[in-house]
Structure 1
Amino acid sequence: LAKNPLISAPVLALPFTIFGIQLPVLASRFLDLLGSAAAPAALFAIGMSFVERTVKSRQREIGVIVLIKMLVHPFLTWVMVTYYFELEPFWASSAILLSALPTAAMAFVIAQEKEAYVGEVSSTIVLSTVISVVTISALLVILPN
């Protein structure tokens, strides 16, 4: 578990944040450059996986997962922020928009690391990203602020 960067990176960064420790400029620039390459590299890997694998046997499952992620999740978030948390409109809208974002590329990284459902996850990411163009646009029109 400690080898997982999702766990180790925040733990290692915590002392820097708590004590206000600044990295040397050279190290900071290097890490910024390395970090800026991570998202495009992940998207490239997702695209390659999507091309290599056809997941015809699981299309229905992928469709249900994407439907839940893109429609049910934002709806449940709306219910929670409206009736349970009673957030101000700006914060409620922000939470709903965040819940309507497509499946994160990190899901692909984890699937690839665990060698499980890589094709399904890449299909889910691609499909939810395409659908998010419509759902997020609609939410931006509907939501206040």
Structure 2
Amino acid sequence: MLDQLLNGVLPVFGIGAVGYVLGLRGTFDFNMAMALNKFVMFVAMPALGFQLLAHAPLAEFDQAMLAGYFVTEVLMYTAGFLIARLVFKTDVMEAALLGLAIALTNHILFVLPIAITLFGEDAVTPIVAIISMDGMLIFSGSLILMDVLATKDASLGHTIGKVVRNPPLVAMTLGLAIGVMGVSVPVGIDVFMDFLGGAASPVLLFALGIILSQKASGSRPMLPVAITGVKLVVHPLLAWAIFAGVLHLSPEVRNPAMMVAAAPCGVMAFMLALNYGVRVDAIARAILYSSIGSLVTVTVAAAL
């Protein structure tokens, strides 16, 4: 277990820590973090989404595992939304993103590089399957929801036009179409997308560290604690009950998926909050608390 912590979890976690330290020192500030976030949203994330879906081994995905994991995501999304909206009285957009933070874990930026480091690329197909499903369903659906909520006073045509021009959505749609058709991506485009997509994880984690270093509002201190508890305790237990108790999945499929369920709150919710002007203090703190807690939960899941 110590090997998983030292050689897989901590190196990735350390990127955000570097951003936090440099933010505290004033080397980077909130506006700089916003610029980094926009780069990820409009450049790096579309490239990463395209790469993942264009090269995803769709035929190798375990459909039962994906169905079971999707059930956990729907339940966690609902729980996060209701806790934020009914208990802590947040607005609808913030509640939706707090639900997303629980459902859409930090797999693509945190779990995947850890799993590849520890087990190699051949052993992470279940994680790639979940990432692909999340890109097509959870993340895309959340982008559409945020566009609709952000333009609720606009005409239907304007809202639809904004949705269909959303860079991550366009890129993931193209990547999925290429993956389904089995079309080979030209080498030059592949290298270009791979190079850009590789920047998404470290840049966004670094920007998150900067945001977390800024002085936070003292209100609603229990909201991120509640979200973290649901993410790191309820979600893994629910996933284990479905994977082991209901579906009886093999360890080769179950354990990588458990790493995803045990991962911290998703950074994508933070990125969307910044992009749509939603309050970020609770989301950022939930990501911080769950990232620290996941040093234990992800390490345990990796050692199963």
* TM-score, normalised relative to structure 2: 0.43
Is the alpha carbon distance of 1:43 and 1:79 closer, same or farther for their aligned partners in structure 2, counting shifts above 3 Å? same
Equivalents in 2 of 1:94, 1:24: separation in Å? 31
Aligned length, in residue pairs: 142
Equivalents in 2 of 1:23, 1:91: separation in Å? 28
Match status 1:36 vs 2:198? yes
Tell me, what secondary structure is at the counterpart of 1:87? coil
Q: Are the counterparts in 1 of residues 256 and 302 from structure 2 also a CA contact under 8 Å?
A: no
Q: Are the counterparts in 2 of residues 100 and 135 from structure 1 also a CA contact under 8 Å?
A: yes
Select which of 278, 288, 292 maps to 1:130.
292
Q: Are the counterparts in 2 of residues 47 and 122 from structure 1 also a CA contact under 8 Å?
A: no
Equivalents in 2 of 1:14, 1:138: separation in Å? 33
Equivalents in 2 of 1:33, 1:10: separation in Å? 17
Identity %: 31
Q: 1:116: which partner in 2?
A: 278
Q: Are the counterparts in 1 of residues 266 and 287 from structure 2 also a CA contact under 8 Å?
A: yes
Is the alpha carbon distance of 1:18 and 1:45 closer, same or farther for their aligned partners in structure 2, counting shifts above 3 Å? same
Q: Deviations over 1:55-90 (max 9, x none)?
A: 321221101101110111001111112222222233
Q: Are the counterparts in 2 of residues 73 and 100 from structure 1 also a CA contact under 8 Å?
A: yes
Listed as ranges, the matches of 1:7-86 within 5 Å are 7-86=169-248
Equivalents in 2 of 1:102, 1:96: separation in Å? 12
Select which of 228, 247, 264 maps to 1:102.
264
Equivalents in 2 of 1:124, 1:63: separation in Å? 7
Is the alpha carbon distance of 1:89 and 1:44 closer, same or farther for their aligned partners in structure 2, counting shifts above 3 Å? closer
Equivalents in 1 of 2:281, 2:215: separation in Å? 6
Q: 1:88: which partner in 2?
A: 250
Residue identity in the other structure for 2:187:
V
Structure 1 position 133, deviation (Å): 0.7
Equivalents in 2 of 1:95, 1:15: separation in Å? 25
Q: 2:60: which partner in 1?
A: none
Residue identity in the other structure for 1:62:
P
Structure 1 position 14, deviation (Å): 2.6
The root-mean-square deviation of aligned C-alpha atoms, in Å, is 1.9
* TM-score, normalised relative to structure 1: 0.84
Equivalents in 2 of 1:140, 1:32: separation in Å? 26
Q: Are the counterparts in 1 of residues 267 and 287 from structure 2 also a CA contact under 8 Å?
A: yes
Is the alpha carbon distance of 1:27 and 1:139 closer, same or farther for their aligned partners in structure 2, counting shifts above 3 Å? closer
Q: Are the counterparts in 2 of residues 70 and 128 from structure 1 also a CA contact under 8 Å?
A: yes
Equivalents in 2 of 1:14, 1:130: separation in Å? 34
Q: Deviations over 1:23-74 (max 9, x none)?
A: 3322222211111111111112212221224032122110110111011100
Using the TM superposition, name which of 18-27 and 68-77 deviates more: 18-27
Is the alpha carbon distance of 1:127 and 1:9 closer, same or farther for their aligned partners in structure 2, counting shifts above 3 Å? same
Equivalents in 1 of 2:302, 2:205: separation in Å? 25
Of structures 1 and 2, the one scoring higher in RCO (CA 8 A, sep 6+) is 2
**Structure 1: gaps (5+ residues):** none
**Structure 2: gaps (5+ residues):** 1-162
